[in-house]
Amino acid sequence: MTLIKKLCMPICSAIGNFWLLLAGVLLVADLWVIFLWAPRDTALGDIQRILYLHVPAAWVSFFAFFIVFCMCTWYFIKRSDKADRIAHASAEVGILFTTIFLLSGIIWAKPVWGVWWTWDPRLTTTLIMWLIYSAYLMVRAYAGSDKRAERWSAVIGILGFFNIPIVYASTIWWRTIHPQQMVGPASDPSNALPDPMRITLYFSVLVFTVLFFVLLNIRYNILSAERKIAIIVDQSNHERV
């Protein structure tokens, strides 16, 4: 019975997740700030409000893949199962945010650039990033034995991260039609956002980061429970033999 309780604990904590509800409330508050508090952009009009979901989704994607990189490195140093599970969960949630990042960009591009997609350096490198981490998840799903999947995906998790600085700096290094950074270390002061817009953007980044940690925690708990169940089933099979 104690064993079953131990197994159920992470699942129960995930199901009754207070944090998920809090993230939902924060998302609604974020919508209020974006649509009712932030001023309308004089040049682009309302379409500029896509920025408040596009940029935070990009930030969370980079952060998620940075966690994947750190955890994969930790996995190679310590052979830690926990690191592997965090990397797996982070890559999956990161792919979700990258998909939102890409799709919101595509939807923004049509009215502003007149096309859904163009092979601009920023767009292309972002698509490559999405493909790399999709490959990571595919390797996890199809590599066969657990240990082999862990090793191969860790290699992709480490090597794939080297694309992230390229995605970030692509608007600086190459000629691009993508807008230049308006916040962050590489931003141009002459291109800075007005204060209310900048505050709205920072709030959105905060909300998306909270949501990322909530989803990461739930996914990690599920992966941990799955792993424990697999170990117990293996042990009981060995005992029978």
- Are 218 and 14 spatial neighbours (Cβ–Cβ below 8 Å)? yes
Q: Which of 2, 236, 238, 241 binds another protein (CB under 8 A)?
A: 236
Q: Which is nearer to another protein, 7 or 33 (CB)?
A: 7
Q: Which is nearer to another protein, 14 or 86 (CB)?
A: 14
| H helices, E strands: number in the chain | 8, 0
Closest CA to 222 of 1, 17, 2, 37: 17
Q: Which of 108, 136, 168, 203 binds another protein (CB under 8 A)?
A: 108
Based on the shown chain and the rule CB under 8 A, indicate whether residue 107 belongs to the binding site for another protein.
yes
Give the burial string for 143-178 (b: 16+ CB within 10 Å, else e): eeeeeebbbbbbebbbebbebbebbbebbeeeebeb
Contact pattern for another protein over residues 126 through 165, marking x by CB under 8 A? -----------x----------------------------
- Are 50 and 108 spatial neighbours (Cβ–Cβ below 8 Å)? yes
Whole-number minimum distance, CB 212 to another protein, in Å? 11
Give the burial string for 72-94 (b: 16+ CB within 10 Å, else e): bbbbbeeeeeebbbbbbbbbbbb
**Encoding tokens for residue 35?**
């649509």
Based on the shown chain and the rule CB under 8 A, indicate whether residue 11 belongs to the binding site for another protein.
yes
The residues, any chain, with a CB within 8 Å of residue 128's CB and separated by 6 or more, are 163, 167
Burial of residue 37 (CB within 10 Å: 0-12, 13-18, 19+) is exposed
Based on the shown chain and the rule CB under 8 A, indicate whether residue 204 belongs to the binding site for another protein.
no
Q: Which of 55, 95, 154, 164 binds another protein (CB under 8 A)?
A: 95
Q: Which is nearer to another protein, 21 or 172 (CB)?
A: 21
Q: Which of 29, 39, 45, 234 binds another protein (CB under 8 A)?
A: 45
Residues that contact another protein, how many (by CB under 8 A): 44
Q: Which of 15, 21, 172, 192 binds another protein (CB under 8 A)?
A: 15
Q: Which of 26, 38, 53, 154 binds another protein (CB under 8 A)?
A: 53
- Could you list the residues that contact another protein (CB under 8 A)? 3-4, 7-8, 11, 14-15, 20, 27, 31, 45-47, 49-50, 53-54, 57, 92-93, 95-96, 99-100, 103-104, 106-108, 110-111, 116, 137, 211, 215, 218-219, 222, 225-226, 229, 232-233, 236
